[in-house]
Amino acid sequence: MNPVGRRLMFLAPLALLGIGGVGAFTLLKRMAEGDFDPRGVPSMLIDKKVPDFTLAAQSGQAGFSAADLAGAGQPVLVNFFASWCLPCVAEAAQLLALKQRGVALWGIAYKDRDEETARFLKQHGNPFARIGRDAEGKAALEFGVYGVPETYLVDRAGIVRWRWVGALTDVVVARALNPLLKQYA
Amino acid sequence: MIPELGHFALALAVALACAQGFVALLGARRLDARWMAAGGALALGQFIAVALAFAALVWSSVIDDFSVLNVAENSHSLKPLLYKISGAWGNHEGSILLWCLMLAGCGAAVAGFGRGLPSALRARVIGVLGGCSAGFLLFTLLTSNPLMRLWPPPADGRDMNPLLQDPGLAFHPPLLYAGYVGFAVPFAFAVAALIEGRVDAAWGRWVRPWALASWSLLTGGIALGSWWAYYELGWGGYWFWDPVENASLLPWLTGTALLHSAIVVEKREALKTWTILLAIATFSLSLTGTFLVRSGILNSVHSFASDPTRGVFILGLLVIVIGGSLALFAWRAPSLGATGLFAPVSREGALVLNNIFICSIASVVFTGTLYPLFAELVFGAKLSVGAPFFNATVLPLSVPVLLAMTVGQILPWKRAALGPALLRLWWAALAATAVGVTVALGLRVVLPAIGFAGAVWLVLGSFGEIIERVRLFRVPLSVSRARLAGLSLSVWAAAIAHAGMGVTVAGIAGMALASEKITAVAAGETIAFAGYDWTMEGVRAGTGPNYNERIAPIAVHRNGVFIVRLAPARRAFTTQRMETTETSIHTTGFADLYAVLGEERDGKAILRLHYNFLAPWIWIGALIMSFGGFLSIADRRLRVGAPARGGKAGRTSHAVAAE
Amino acid sequence: MIRIFLLLCLLAGPAFAVSNPGEMLADPAQEARARALGQQLRCLVCQNNSVEESEADFARDLRRVIRERVTAGDDDAQVMAWMTARYGEFVRLYPALNAQTALLWASPVLALAMGAAAVLLGRRRRQAAPTPLSDAERTALEKLTTP
C-alpha cells in the first residue's frame, strides 16, 4: 500500500469522529429548537383521510363520525381528552380561546366515564361543538393516538393536516396552528 | 458550611488536575525527575480534593440538608440511610461527580501502584489522566455542580425514584463506573506510547494489569446491573439491549478485544497499531456512552433528566479528548516500528480471530444503537432498533467466538497445525455433543440444546490448556503434578475466566427453557407449577419508611416438603406517587423461583410465577469471569520491578517476555 | 426468516408484564404467536419496552388488538402492517428490511469484511519486500562488511 493511502487509512478514525461530532451537534441543536424529539412519534395520518369511525355522543351533545368530519364545511380541530388527564386541564383555557375565535372544536372523550367527562367539562369549560365517546379507545387506535391530549387538524375535505401531542400552548398555536388554519380556512 | 467546603474542594481539584496535566507531561518531555514525581503527588492531591467534594455531597444527603439543591431534588427525610448515601449518585450531578472521582482515582492509582513503570511513561500516563480529569471536573463545576445551594430550603425533598431505592443500585454505579472509567488508564497508556513514539513488548506487559482491572470491574458492574434489572423490574428478563445497557457493553467488548491483542503485542510485538487504536477506542466508547445517555439524544428507559445544552458541553469534551488522541494516532502511529510475524494458524492467529469477531459484535451493537439517530439525520425517518434486532445479529456472531475460545487456548505460539489441536479436545467435544443430543432429544428443543452443548464445550475445553501443559496421561502423574504446581496464575486465570463465560452461556440457554404461569388466585388456593405447589396465603397490607405495600405470601412446597415462603409485594410510594412491584425470588442454585404480584380484583390476586432454570448461573458466570480477571493481575510476572521483599530494592524494570 | 428470528428471541429469554390472565388467548399456539409479535412492538408510552413487557394502559390496548387480529386469522405480516399503518416504523423494534435500514442489516457482514480486509492488508504489508538500499547505504554496508 502506498504511503499516501496509508496516511489516509490512519486518518479514517479521526474523520469518522468528525462526521459523528457534526451529526451529534446537529441533532442537539434540533432538539433545543424543538425540531427533534427522540421520544416523539410522528403521525401516520398527515395528508391522509381521517380513518373510519363512529362514536356515540356524550350526553347533552351531538356525537360524530368520520363522514361528519368530511362534510363539516370548515376545518375542524379534533381533540382527544380525558377527565383524568392533567395536561388537558392545562390546555382547557387555550381551547376556549380557540372556540371564541370561531374555530370548530370537536372533542373525543378517551377512556372516560360519562359522568366524569361531564364533571370535567363543567369544571373547566366546554369548548366542543360535538363530543364523541371513545370508552374503549378503539377510535384512538385508528388515529394512532398513544396518549392524551392529542389534537388533529382536519380540513374541509376530511384530510388530516396536522397533529400535536400534548397540551396546546400559546407558542404552538401561534407558530404552528394559526398559519394552517389560515391556509385551510 | 460543608457544601461550601466541598464546592471549594471541587474548584481546587480543577486546578490540581490542570497542574497534574502540565507538570507531568512537561516533566516527561524534559526528563526532569522532580517534575515527574510532582505529577504523581498532584494526582494524589487531586483525588483527595474530589473525594472531599464527594464526601460533602454524601454528608449533606445523610443529614437531610435540603438547602443543597441536589439533595432537595433527590432525597427525602424518610428515605432509609442506605439510600440517602446511594442517592448521592442516583442522579445526573452526583453521578458525574462519581465519574470524576473514579477518574481522579485512576490517576492516583497509577501514581501509587505504578512504581514499576519507567518514570517517563508513568509521568505521561498521569499527565494524560490529569488532562482528562481537568476537562470533566470543569464540566462538573460549570454545568452540573451537585453542591449548588437552594434558598430558602424546602421543608422536605422531592424523594428519589422508588425504583432506585434498592441495594442493587447502591453498588451498581460505583462498580460500573470503576470499570467504565478505569479504561482511561489503558487509554492514557496508548496516548503516552504515541507521544513517546514507541510501543514494545514492555508496553504490552505494563498496560495489561490496568486493562484487566478495569475489565474485571466492568464485568462485575454490568452483571450487577443485569441482575438488578432482573429482580427489580419484575419482567423476568435480564438484558434488554437498552441504549444505556449497550453503552456499557461496548467498552466491555472492545476491552475484551484489547486484553487479548495486548498479549500479542507482548509476545510478538505485533498488532501494535491495532492495540493502540483499541485502547483509544475503548475509553472513547465509555465517553460516547456517557454523552449519549446524559444528553437525552437517545430514547432510553434509564433516563437522566436530559438537557441538550449539557449535551453540547459533553460533546465538546468528547471531541477534544477523542479527537486529540485520534489526531495523535494519525500522526504517530504510521511510524511505529516493524512488527513480528506469525502464521495465520497459531495462538496469535486465534487472538486475531477473536478480535475480528468481538469487534464485529461491537460494531453491530454500535450501529444498532446509533442507527435511529443516523436515520433521523440522513433520511428524516423515525425508526426503532430494539432487542429483536440485536438478538438476531449478535447471537450468530458470538457462536464462532465461543467455539474458537477453547481451541485458541491450546494452539502453540507462532505456528501451529489446527488438526492436532482440535483432536486434543476430543473429550470436551464428546461431552458437549452428548449433552447437546440428550437435551435435544429429551426436551425436544434445538437452540437451548446448542446453547448447553456450547456451555459444556467452553467449561471443559477451557481447562484444555492446563491439561496440555501438565501433559496429563502422557507423562507420569508425579511429573504432571509437579508441572501443575509450577503453572503461573495467569494460565489458571485464563482457564477460569473462559470457563466463567461457559457458565454464563449455560445460564442464558437455561433461561430459554424458563416457564411461567399467570393466574388469578384466591387466598388459600394452591397452584401446581413446574413441579412445585404454590399456595397463596392471602394478601395483607404493610408499611415501610416511605411507602405502603400489599404483600402476598406464597408457601412453596415440593412433594409435600416445605421449600420457602415467597413474599411478592406491590409498593405505593407516598411522595413520588409511584407504584413498584417487589418480586420475590428464591434460588435453588439451579433455578430461580420467581413470583410477582399483580393487581387484585374480585377478591383474587393476579400472580405471575416463573421457574427460571439456571438463571443464577448467568451472574455466577460473570462473577467467575471477573474473578479470573483479578486472578490474572495477581500473577507475579505482571508485577515485574516491584521492590523485592527483604530490601533488594532498586531493580530496574525491564520486560521479561512471556515464555 | 421470521421464524428464525422468533426462535432467537426465545433463546434470549422471555419477558412479560403482569397482565390479566383473562387477556391470554385460549389456544397456546396463538398465544405464543401473539406474544412473539408483542415483543416486536415498542410501547410508545414508556419507551424502550416492548408491548409485552409494559404495564401501561396503552400497551394493554395493543396487546388486546394483537390477540384480536391473531384470532381473526391475520398472519404476522398483516398484524405488523396494521400497527405500522397507524404508528409508523417507529413502533417496530425489529426494523424492516428496506433501503433505509440496508446499512443497519448489512453491518454484521460489513464489520467482518472490514476485519478480514484489515488482516489481509496487514499480512501483505509485512510480506512486502523491504525498500531497496540507496547508494549511500550500499556503500556504507560494503565498508562495514568487507574486511
DSSP per residue, B536-569 = E---EEEE-SSEEEEE--EEEEETTEEEEEE--E
**DSSP H/E element including A78:** strand A76-81
Q: Which of B655, B656, B583 is nearest to B228 (CA)?
A: B583
Partner-chain contact C14 B238, CB within 8 Å = no
Distance to chain A for B378, nearest Cα, Å: 9
Give the residue, B577 or B467, on which the prediction is more confident: B467
Alpha-carbon radius of gyration of chain B: 27
> What's the number of domains chain B is made of?
4
Does residue B303 sit in the same domain as residue B345? Answer: yes
Confidence of residue A9 (pLDDT cuts 50, 70, 90): confident
> DSSP string spanning B289-313?
HHHHHHH--S--SSPPPP-HHHHHH
Q: Residue B409 falls within a domain, yes or no? A: no
pLDDT digits (tens, 9 = 90+) for B247-305: 999 999 999 999 999 999 988 888 899 999 999 999 999 999 888 888 888 877 666 66
B364 and chain C in contact, CB less than 8 A? yes
CA distance C56 to C63: 11
CA distance B201 to B206: 9
pLDDT (mean) for B374-397: 91
Partner-chain contact A7 B315, CB within 8 Å = no
Distances (CA, A) of B352 to B185, B423, C115, C119: 23, 22, 9, 8
Q: CA angle A19-A24-A25, nearest 5°?
A: 100
Does residue B202 sit in the same domain as residue B278? Answer: yes
Cell representation of residue B252: 466491555
Q: Residue A43 falls within a domain, yes or no? A: no
pLDDT (mean) for B208-230: 93
Is the CB of residue B385 less than 8 Å from the CB of residue B439?
A: no
A153: β partners: A77, A162
Partner-chain contact B243 C48, CB within 8 Å = yes
Q: Residue B637 falls within a domain, yes or no? A: no
Supply the pLDDT for residue B659: 39
Confidence of residue B619 (pLDDT cuts 50, 70, 90): very high
Does residue A17 sit in the same domain as residue A53? Answer: no
Does residue A7 sit in the same domain as residue A92? Answer: no
Residues 6+ apart with CB under 8 A from B602: B520
Candidate from B112-121, B266-275, C14-23 with smallest mean pLDDT: C14-23
Confidence of residue B131 (pLDDT cuts 50, 70, 90): very high
Confidence of residue C18 (pLDDT cuts 50, 70, 90): low
Supply the pLDDT for residue B318: 92
Q: Which of C35, C66, A183 is nearest to B518 (CA)?
A: C35
Q: Residue B636 falls within a domain, yes or no? A: no
Q: Residue A2 falls within a domain, yes or no? A: yes
Specify the pTM: 0.90
Partner-chain contact B386 C14, CB within 8 Å = no
Partner-chain contact A147 C58, CB within 8 Å = yes
Instruction: Decide: helix, strand or coil at residue B2.
Output: helix
Q: Residue B475 falls within a domain, yes or no? A: yes
Task: Enumerate the residues of chain A whose CB falls inside 8 A of the CB of residue C61.
Answer: 137, 141
> What's the number of domains chain A is made of?
2
Does residue B490 sit in the same domain as residue B625? Answer: yes
pLDDT (mean) for B551-576: 87
Does residue B156 sit in the same domain as residue B190? Answer: no
Q: Inform me whether the pLDDT recorded for C12 exceeds 60.
A: no
Closest residue of C to A140, CA-based?
A: C86
Residues of chain B with pLDDT > 90, as a percent, come to: 50
Give the residue, B616 or B79, on which the prediction is more confident: B616
Confidence of residue B638 (pLDDT cuts 50, 70, 90): low
CA distance A99 to A97: 5
**How many Cβ pairs within 8 Å bridge chains A and B?**
68
Q: Which amino acid is at B307?
A: D
Cell representation of residue A42: 410522528
B12-17 LR contacts (CB < 8 Å, sep 24+):
B12/B49, B13/B46, B13/B49, B13/B50, B13/B53, B13/B100, B13/B104, B13/B133, B13/B137, B14/B134, B14/B137, B14/B138, B14/B141, B16/B42, B16/B45, B16/B46, B16/B49, B17/B46, B17/B104, B17/B130, B17/B131, B17/B133, B17/B134, B17/B137
**DSSP H/E element including B528:** strand B526-529
Confidence of residue A13 (pLDDT cuts 50, 70, 90): very high
Does residue B102 sit in the same domain as residue B43? Answer: yes
Instruction: Decide: helix, strand or coil at residue B507.
Output: helix
Residues 6+ apart with CB under 8 A from A130: A57, A61, A62, A63, A64, A68, A106, A107
Q: Residue B643 falls within a domain, yes or no? A: no
Is the CB of residue B376 less than 8 Å from the CB of residue A36?
A: yes
For domain C2-91, the CATH class is mainly alpha
Cell representation of residue B602: 374480585
Is the CB of residue B39 less than 8 Å from the CB of residue B24?
A: yes
Supply the pLDDT for residue B47: 97
Confidence of residue C14 (pLDDT cuts 50, 70, 90): very low
CA distance B197 to B334: 10
Distance to chain C for B516, nearest Cα, Å: 9
CA distance C61 to A140: 10
Q: Which of A108, A122, A93 is nearest to A58 (CA)?
A: A108
Does residue B569 sit in the same domain as residue B585? Answer: yes
Q: Inform me whether the pLDDT recorded for C42 exceeds 80.
A: yes
Alpha-carbon radius of gyration of chain A: 22
Q: Residue B644 falls within a domain, yes or no? A: no
For an interface test with B, give the residue of A14, A43, A46 to mutate (most B CBs within 10 A). A14
Residues of C (46-85) whose Cβ lies below 8 Å from B:
46-50, 53
Q: Cβ atoms within 10 A of the Cβ of B337, count?
A: 10
Partner-chain contact A10 B329, CB within 8 Å = yes
pLDDT (mean) for B590-611: 88
Partner-chain contact C57 A39, CB within 8 Å = no
Does residue B505 sit in the same domain as residue B530? Answer: no
CA distance B472 to B484: 10
Mean pLDDT rounded to a whole number for chain B: 88
Cell representation of residue B495: 482457564
Q: Cβ atoms within 10 A of the Cβ of A113, count?
A: 14
Location of C-alpha cell 475480528: B356
Supply the pLDDT for residue B301: 66
pLDDT (mean) for B26-34: 92
C15 and chain B in contact, CB less than 8 A? yes
Confidence of residue B451 (pLDDT cuts 50, 70, 90): very high
Supply the pLDDT for residue C48: 77
pLDDT digits (tens, 9 = 90+) for A119-144: 998 898 889 988 999 888 888 999 99
Is the CB of residue B227 less than 8 Å from the CB of residue B219?
A: no
> Which of B573, B588, B613 finishes a domain?
B613
Task: Enumerate the residues of chain C whose CB falls inside 8 A of the CB of residue A1.
Answer: 121, 124-125
Cell representation of residue B79: 428515605
Structural domain boundaries, residue A143: 48-183
Q: Residue A104 falls within a domain, yes or no? A: yes
Q: Residue A56 falls within a domain, yes or no? A: yes
Structural domain boundaries, residue B449: 425-512+619-630
Partner-chain contact C92 B384, CB within 8 Å = yes
Q: Residue B537 falls within a domain, yes or no? A: yes
Residues 6+ apart with CB under 8 A from A178: none
Cell representation of residue B169: 443500585
Task: Enumerate the residues of chain B whose CB falls inside 8 A of the CB of residue C16.
Answer: 235-236, 516, 518, 608
CA distance C18 to C56: 11
Is the CB of residue B567 less than 8 Å from the CB of residue B587?
A: no
For an interface test with A, give the residue of C48, C61, C62, C126 to mutate (most A CBs within 10 A). C61
Supply the pLDDT for residue A125: 87
Q: Inform me whether the pLDDT recorded for B192 exceeds 50.
A: yes
Distance to chain A for C13, nearest Cα, Å: 26
Is the CB of residue B477 less than 8 Å from the CB of residue B471?
A: no
**Closest residue to A44, CB basis, from C57, C58, C85:** C85
Does residue B561 sit in the same domain as residue B472? Answer: no
Chain C residues at the A interface, defined by Cβ less than 8 Å, are 44-45, 47, 57-58, 61-62, 65, 84-88, 90-91, 121, 124-125
A36 and chain C in contact, CB less than 8 A? no
Closest residue of A to C87, CA-based?
A: A144
CA distance A76 to A106: 7
Does residue A136 sit in the same domain as residue A95? Answer: yes
Does residue B308 sit in the same domain as residue B394? Answer: yes
pLDDT (mean) for B204-214: 93
**What is the side-by-side order of every strand in the sheet holding B526-529?**
B526-529, B532-536, B554-558, B561-566
3-state secondary structure B582-642: ECEEEECCCEEEEEEEEEEECCEEEEEEEEEECHHHHHHHHHHHHHHHHHHHCCHHHHCCC
Is the CB of residue A85 less than 8 Å from the CB of residue C45?
A: no
* Cα B383 to the center of its chain, rounded Å: 28
Task: Enumerate the residues of chain C whose CB falls inside 8 A of the CB of residue B448.
Answer: 11
Supply the pLDDT for residue B267: 87
DSSP H stretches of helix in B296-425: 308-332, 347-378, 387-410, 418-424
Task: Enumerate the residues of chain A whose CB falls inside 8 A of the CB of residue B311.
Answer: 24, 28, 31
Partner-chain contact B376 A24, CB within 8 Å = no
Is the CB of residue B123 less than 8 Å from the CB of residue B27?
A: yes
Distances (CA, A) of C68 to B329, B519, C62, C74: 58, 21, 10, 9
pLDDT (mean) for B338-351: 85
Q: Residue A96 falls within a domain, yes or no? A: yes
pLDDT (mean) for B31-40: 92
Does residue B95 sit in the same domain as residue B225? Answer: no
Interface predicted TM-score (ipTM)? 0.86
Q: Domain coordinates of chain C in residue numbers?
A: 2-91, 99-145
Does residue A65 sit in the same domain as residue A30? Answer: no
Q: Is B193 left (phi over 0), alpha (psi -120 to 50) or beta?
A: alpha
Q: Inform me whether the pLDDT recorded for A102 exceeds 60.
A: yes
Distance to chain C for B384, nearest Cα, Å: 5
Distance to chain B for C76, nearest Cα, Å: 15
Does residue B466 sit in the same domain as residue B597? Answer: no
Does residue A68 sit in the same domain as residue A28? Answer: no
Supply the pLDDT for residue B643: 45
Q: Which of A53, A61, A58, A47 is nearest to A159 (CA)?
A: A47
Q: Residue B210 falls within a domain, yes or no? A: yes
pLDDT digits (tens, 9 = 90+) for C73-125: 888 899 999 999 999 888 899 998 888 899 999 999 999 999 999 888 877 77
Q: Residue A12 falls within a domain, yes or no? A: yes
Relative orientation angle of helices C57-71 and C28-39, to the nearest 10 degrees: 130
Is the CB of residue B211 less than 8 Å from the CB of residue B278?
A: no
For an interface test with B, give the residue of A10, A29, A46 to mutate (most B CBs within 10 A). A10
Does residue B302 sit in the same domain as residue B188? Answer: yes
Q: Inform me whether the pLDDT recorded for B475 exceeds 90.
A: no
Task: Enumerate the residues of chain C whose CB falls inside 8 A of the CB of residue A147.
Answer: 44-45, 58
Residues of A (93-132) whose Cβ lies below 8 Å from B:
none
Q: Residue A41 falls within a domain, yes or no? A: no
B510 and chain C in contact, CB less than 8 A? no
Task: Enumerate the residues of chain C whose CB falls inside 8 A of the CB of residue A3.
Answer: none
Distance to chain B for A81, nearest Cα, Å: 22
pLDDT digits (tens, 9 = 90+) for A39-75: 778 888 888 888 888 888 887 788 888 888 888 888 8
Candidate from B109-123, B271-285, B291-305, B398-412 with smallest mean pLDDT: B291-305
Q: C: neighbours with 3+ CB pairs under 8 Å?
A: A, B
Task: Enumerate the residues of chain C whose CB falls inside 8 A of the CB of residue A39.
Answer: 47
Closest residue of C to B271, CA-based?
A: C122
Supply the pLDDT for residue B302: 66
Partner-chain contact A38 B309, CB within 8 Å = no
Cell representation of residue B19: 497542574
Q: Inform me whether the pLDDT recorded for B652 exceeds 50.
A: no
**Closest residue to C121, CB basis, from A1, A42, A146:** A1
Partner-chain contact B298 A25, CB within 8 Å = no
Location of C-alpha cell 388466585: B521
CA distance B231 to A149: 34
Is the CB of residue B346 less than 8 Å from the CB of residue B412?
A: yes
Does residue A19 sit in the same domain as residue A89? Answer: no
